Chains A and B, each alone.
Chain A
Amino acid sequence: MKPANALLPGTLDMLILKAVSLAPLHGYGILLRIQQISGGVLDVPQGSLYPALYRLVEQGHISAEWGQSDNNRRARFYSLTATGRKRLRTETAEWNQMASAIANALNTTPEEV
């Protein structure tokens, strides 16, 4: 059985894009932000976070820059690029469309058939 708070496959990239769209964040910050904005429901597997970040950087959807963290440590901060913003918009629209379709389907009563 999958844990209840595991991510749906293919949604990690979208959540990362959303998290960094709000403000530039380092890797651990992204993890916390996703937990925060999902109301503590979604738990990102930590080992998978960094490969996803590196992949998104390679694809040009986010950019990475070294900066200073809250505790004055050197950290790598990720921010959304223009193409990333475009992809986030498309994926959000597609997700919403899909989610409402699924919700509609699941809410269907026998009378409506």
Chain B
Amino acid sequence: MIAVLRSVYRRDPCLGLGYGLSSFIASVNVWTAASDEQCRTVAGLLLANRKIASVYHELDHGNDLARIECEARPVGDTWVLNGRKEVVTNLQRADALVIFARTDPKPGSRSHSQLFLDKSTVAPDRMRDLPRFPSTGMRGVQLGGVEFRDCAIPRDNVLGRPGHGIETALRSFQLTRTVLPAVMAGQVDTGLRTTVRHVLGRRLYGRPVAEVPYIRSVLVGAFVDLLTVECFTTVVARAIHLLPTETSVYASAVKHFGAKALMDAMNRLSMVLGAHFYLRRGGVAIFQKLLRDLQPVGFGHAARAACQTTILPQLPMLARRSWRTPEAAPDELFRLDADLPALPFDRLAVTAAGQDHLSGSLLAGLDAEGADHRAVSDLAERFAAELRVLADECAELPPGELGVAAGPRSADLATRYGLVLAASACLSVWRHNGDRDPFLGDPAWLLAALTRLSAQQRGEPADLPEHVERRLYAELMDRHEDVRGFDLTNRRVR
């Protein structure tokens, strides 16, 4: 599914969101919590090409789910819904809604539920569309609002146990937090292709722009960052199948890391294009649209800050229960051609309970690799050392530092941990796929990926060894010429 959506995002992210991801976001609540009969109803709708909107957002509360106000009161055999929802994708266009509503006036985490509503069953005076919210990017996607007035929904339309809505959200949105950066990498893929095409045809300072060393570095950097994001998102997507009890942390970490990596890469490419990326006509014009459309990766459907608040409280237990006694994940997690078991929705958990086999694989890899490749080993050892430092810092974090009131140093721990996980994902993908794909088994890209992650961790500029940069630039040019993707699959994209 990620592969299909990514190719849509490569061409038009609005189509990907409006006609793909949006219904997916609503449906994961259903697959996670609903009865078999409800699942069949929703599957029927989706198979008939109809849309479902995920109706959570209220402007006053953002990602703060526990304070959502739109209220459903139990009256007889119905829920009576009152309140407003704002800035919701496809609200007006959708045929059915999954509504996150308060079903208990008490404050706390057992006071909300998801309600399924087929719009065709609602009397027009019970539900009023609010004016569309115009947006800077993703302009083709309708952001709507709605006001419910004594709108009756059958009691049976609650998804899962009443009051368990926050639990359902935290469990099911692990899928969407993973899929979002994975598919939006497609936009950066096109951004990179557009930039390469532009610099190849342009001469400045008496030489082709593509031969300017700085330009080469930026292009190779974007290529490497794409591969890194893809390693991380692919491994987490596979973890949802293979290690579902641990993905509460990974899904938030990959969204937090991936969103920033993609936006940074795209912004650096825009500097290569200079004034051209600002133009709305000509061969490069697609770039400014993709750049605008990329912004939601940072705030859309769980802001980076919200991801951080999922990770932060879990750090002390991860440190105490996993990082100090690392255990490796099973090999299938990283073997891209290994079959996956069906997705076990019932095993997704609200926390990882301190379990983390992905960072455990970082250390296990070091033992296995030995001195095979000195530079890779050195870099891997650096991340292993960083994990030990993180373990010491996090194990004893005072409880006051785990909440919304956490200081910037604590907040930074989540970022640093994300870099370690990304490094471990890259290392493991490299180690387990060389037999299938010679490029993936070549240490050049891995060396570049680890060097760039390590530079971020230290706050230094990333300086790739000359031979590594040359090797990756040649690969980039080959793929450009053959119109192959700048991703792990390395397939032709047209």
User: Do the two chains bind?
Assistant: no
Chain A residues with a Cβ under 8 A of chain B? none
